[in-house]
Amino acid sequence: MSTVKPIYLDYAATTPVAPEVAQAMNACLTADGLFANPASDHAFGDLAKGAVTKAANALAKLLNCNSDELVFTSGATESNNLAIKGAFEFYAARLERPHFITSKIEHKAVLDVAEWLEQRGVLVTRLEPDSNGLISAQQVAEALTEDTVLVSIQHVNNELGCIQPIAEIAKVLANHGARLHVDAAQSVGKITVDVVELGIDYLSLSAHKFYGPKGAGALYVRSQPRARLRPQQHGGLQQQGLRSGTLPVHQVVGLGKAAEVANESLAADMQTIGALREQLEQALSELDGVTINAAGAERVAGICNVSFDGIAGDSLLAGLPHIMLSSGSACTSDNGEPSYVLRALGHDDRSAEASLRISIGRFTSAADIEAAAADISELVTQLRSVSPWWQLDESAVLATAMSLAWGDEAKLLRNADGSLSWKAAGRGELLAMLPIALTFYEKHGSVDGLVAAIEVDLEIATDRRYLLLLVEDLFRELDSQ
């Protein structure tokens, strides 16, 4: 590797707090600062309340709304829960089978709420994205029923960076009673988000995605025409009763300061970060077999999702310990499953695993990108040199397996260009192989023996699951003859 310096390229998972944000938060913690309860009826309380109002004004400016349309929460997860459950509780009570429309590639903080609603009798439609991760207004229009209470579509996808056509979706809903909720955790502070222009009823955001603190967020709730919801948290009736609990002044001030900085630096950030992503994608595209996912969609500047043909995904992340990035969303990568977002775009498990989400932010430098691109390219090239799939088609890998298992019966040919091909595909030969294949299974009991034989005899690394699929394919083919 050309560098061992750690490089942070996971800004979509979270961002560091901006220095001016940390400073503003720090001034709200200790006895000499704005530590008081903003609901307290005394001078210190008034000072804290003033700081909260200032923060709300900065955030309202960023979203083009009024500050009294904002409810402070602990982040986008809570905002999503409050908006979706709250809207259903308010509007769906009189409906026999209320209906919810969302997409298959929402964040879990929406998908799991959808499942929760489903368990309580709500009919849920999960729209399929196109190959660029986009949901169209037409799809929403076709899914609408007279019982549709709410549509929830994210603004920017957290893995792909694609920007959904929210204004068009809102237009479809304009003549319908259904409300529009938008999870904007990945767009606020990164692209212009104008709730009026976009026609949004509820919008969720998280401060830590744009250089504010973790554990702070907000829900925008439209006042004209009024979007309603039932509170999900009960107590001291703070925030017009929509979200009880003492306001954490330092968190709210941090969120407000992050919004203030974004108001000033959004355009410049977009330009610099966009140029860095261009640099990264150009460098990675010098390799063969690279797909930039959702490249056909308009994307937020900081996210690059890239798949590499012919390698195993776990070796990819394991080979880049000094680069902080993820193979999917950090929020769901704990479960070790291949990304459901990439699978919804048509990737198989292997391709979804051999993908990286590289996300760039305000503190990324051109040197970081240059080093990361060089290290990723070097690793991919190295992994491909020992990969049985790279530039071998599936039948060639199968032929390798067959030739080892059945010797002369399957004719494995090496072509002039060095590639392998399989020449035993005739119906008669396949039929003749059936008893041999069965003998092979009797002898080895499983595909493991075959994998070991290939690894030892051919000195190539094999992927057990992949080989298993190929051998299963062979048996299916034999079955159908």
Ligand X SMILES: Cc1ncc(COP(=O)(O)O)c(C=O)c1O
- Closest by CA to 187, choosing from 162, 218, 221, is 162
Is 154 a residue that touches ligand X (CB under 6 A)?
yes
- Closest by CA to 186, choosing from 109, 95, 118, is 109
Residues between 59 and 78 that touch ligand X (CB under 6 A):
75-77
Is 158 a residue that touches ligand X (CB under 6 A)?
yes
User: DSSP letter string over 107-168?
Assistant: -HHHHHHHHHHHHTT-EEEEEPP-TTS---HHHHHHH--TTEEEEE--SB-TTT-BBP-HHH
**In the complex with ligand X, which residue's Cβ is closer, 185 or 227?**
185
Q: What span, in angstroms and rounded, lies between the C-alpha atoms of 156 and 206?
A: 13
Is 186 a residue that touches ligand X (CB under 6 A)?
yes
Residues between 286 and 315 that touch ligand X (CB under 6 A):
none
Q: How far is the CB of 30 from ligand X (least distance, A)?
A: 26
Report the residue from 22, 27, 275, 331 that binds ligand X according to the rule CB under 6 A.
331
User: SS3 string of 177-226?
Assistant: CCEEEEECCCCECCECCCHHHHCCCEEEEEHHHHCCCCCCEEEEECECCE
Identify the H or E element spanning 422: strand 420-422
Cβ–Cβ < 8 Å for 263, 127: no
446-481: string of b/e by CB count within 10 Å (b at 16+)? ebeebbeebeeeeeeebbeebbebbbeebeeeeeee
**In the complex with ligand X, which residue's Cβ is closer, 57 or 333?**
333
Catalytic site residue from 28, 65, 304, 331? 331
**In the complex with ligand X, which residue's Cβ is closer, 154 or 238?**
154
Report the residue from 36, 49, 85, 183 that binds ligand X according to the rule CB under 6 A.
183
65 noted as active-site residue: no
Place of tokens 């039948």: 395
**In the complex with ligand X, which residue's Cβ is closer, 78 or 201?**
78
Residues between 190 and 229 that touch ligand X (CB under 6 A):
206, 208
Is 185 a residue that touches ligand X (CB under 6 A)?
yes
Q: How far is the CB of 156 from ligand X (least distance, A)?
A: 7
**In the complex with ligand X, which residue's Cβ is closer, 266 or 300?**
300
Is 81 a residue that touches ligand X (CB under 6 A)?
no
DSSP state, residue 417: T
Is 107 a residue that touches ligand X (CB under 6 A)?
yes
Q: How far is the CB of 43 from ligand X (least distance, A)?
A: 34
Q: Which stretch binds ligand X (CB under 6 A): 179-187, 219-227, 353-361, 375-383?
A: 179-187
By CB under 6 A, name the binding residues for ligand X. 75-77, 107, 109, 154, 158, 183, 185-186, 206, 208, 331
Enumerate the active-site residues. Answer: 331
